[in-house]
Amino acid sequence: MDDDCDIIEKNVEHYKNILFPPKIYDEEAIQDHDNLLNRIRILIDDDGCPEYPGDGMDESYSIKIIDGSADLQSKSVWGAIRALETFSQLTFFTDDNKLAINDSTIIFDEPRFSYRGLLLDTSRHFIPVPVLKKQIDAMSYNKFNVFHWHIVDDQSFPLELPTFKNLSINGRYSKAHVYSMDDVKDIIDHARIRGIRVIPEFDSPGHVNTFGKTYPEFLTVCWHNGKPYQPIYGVQGKAEIFNPSFEPMYPVLESVLEEFKELFVDDYIHLGNDEVYYDCWKSNPQITEWMENMNFSNDYSHLQAYYSSKLLKTVDKLDKKAIVWEDVYENGVKIDLRTKIQLWKGAPENISWADTLNKVTADGYEVILSSPWYINYISYGYKEWYNWYTVEPLKDFKGTEEQKKKIVGGEVCLWSEYVDGSNIESRLWPRASSIAERLWSPAHVNDPEDAKFRLDEQRCRLLRRGIPASPVLNGYCGDYEYGMEKSVIFEKEFNYGWPN
């Protein structure tokens, strides 16, 4: 292992601050506790310092604590990061305020699913960069490894693009509600240190009203009673959804996606393609005529498939891979097998998604499951997270062993209609922690009556690390509730970019 790997160096310092927060311990006390830390060895099989985390990264590790020394061994730096988190959770303080850990502890650990994602929506409400960085840290405390950034939508286009700056100028809420190119790089670099991928989503052909503020000619004109630009409340607007028959649109979209490629380093771009409502397309006589000339039937899913195929080819041309919502698969689009299909339908209703899992994997595609984990829907009490925790992706799965391998993981989705920087943390944590355990731990670890105590302890741990997570059980977490001043720790490292 390269001794100069910044990922390891920064995480060692990070966890030192977690164990000995400067606001609580003076320098002398921290030096006393360093004795334990000096007896930790991080052993990594892989020689190099990887540039960024990626698809299929190895996060397995072992911890052996014998005779007062600890060996944290992994095949990659990403496993080492997860080992440091587990090690931090094994420590405790004695009555005389000394850091301790149980001797003769041996752990071999690896994730059950390789993809453990969290979707955050920054279009409906803007989430400030410092708040996003805090959530990335909280993700690492829960061993999530993908930040799915639903960055733009109908409500706002807060992403600054080098060549297409008018998209954010015309589509933002205000000058303050924009992610600059430096902001994006800052978030990606922060996530890299925590072993978390950043996958952006450019959702279309629906969810594009703010894009249409710069390119109104791309939107479909909606008709009613023989007249154009006619809204029908609850059915259609005056103009909405990209018009797939408008060929000059595609070179522009290719250029936009090329700029996504330059900004975001991950191999994948999420192309969305969900919730396309056909009423406006059906109302437009030019689209009807175009479909007839193309020998399309009057099934408008074929029109959506035409559009989706074009964008998938564009991503392939850019040497990227795609993730799409399940609508694309349902519309019969010919999809490259490198494309991952994300299931969302059935959320939050109890509609079975098992049949879709069977079908998609039988056709050879890798699947990400989100349907049961839309945590923007809230209810009172513990049964809420019980329902998420007890989801078993393979419970009704009837596929082969090869098909099972195609279920690469799951993703928690927090849509932001009623969430912004003021309440995102209490809405996310520790609710998402219950799903994180589901995605990491073996299938037989599934009893919520046992899990509630671990979840309560994790909630207290998050509080100590400056994440204002909501209560799980009755009781308290030490003295952190008193003004929360001891929760706002790590001033030197954890200012997250707030202005002084």
Q: Is the pLDDT of residue 498 over 60?
A: no
Last residue of a domain, one of 69, 94, 109: 109
> What stretches of 337-447 show up as alpha helix (H) in DSSP?
354-362, 383-389, 401-405, 424-428, 431-440
Joined together, the tokens standing for residue 86 give 């587990």
For residue 71, the enclosing domain spans 6-109
The DSSP H or E segment spanning 80 is helix 77-90
Contact 123, 152 (CB under 8 A): yes
pLDDT band at 243 (very low <50, low <70, confident <90, very high): very high
Residue 23 CA to chain centroid, in angstroms? 31
Non-local (6+) Cβ contacts of 17 within 8 A are 489, 490, 492, 493, 494
Q: Is the pLDDT of residue 22 over 70?
A: no
Q: Is the pLDDT of residue 483 over 50?
A: no
What is the tens place of the pLDDT at every residue in 154-193?
999 999 999 999 999 999 999 999 999 999 999 999 999 9
> Are 51 and 135 within one domain?
no
Distance CA 408, CA 116 (A): 9
Distance CA 424, CA 495 (A): 18
Give me the CATH number covering residue 138.
3.20.20.80
Does residue 494 lie within any of the structural domains?
no
Joined together, the tokens standing for residue 272 give 């969305």
Does residue 498 lie within any of the structural domains?
no
Give me the CATH number covering residue 72.
3.30.379.10
**Residue 157 carries which side chain, given as an amino acid letter?**
F
Distance CA 207, CA 217 (A): 16
What is the tens place of the pLDDT at every residue in 55-95?
999 999 999 999 888 999 999 999 999 999 999 999 887 77
Distance CA 498, CA 92 (A): 31
| Positive or negative: CA dihedral 43, 45, 48, 54 | negative
> Are 64 and 137 within one domain?
no
Among the listed residues 13, 275, 292, 402, the single catalytic one is: 275
Q: Is the pLDDT of residue 236 over 90?
A: yes
Last residue of a domain, one of 79, 109, 139: 109
- At 104 the three-state DSSP class reads coil
Domain count, the chain: 2
Residue 275 annotated as catalytic: yes
Residues linked to residue 105 through DSSP beta bridges, in sequence order? 65
| CA–CA distances in Å: residue 139 to residues 121, 173, 405 | 15, 27, 24
> What stretches of 172-266 show up as alpha helix (H) in DSSP?
181-193, 249-263
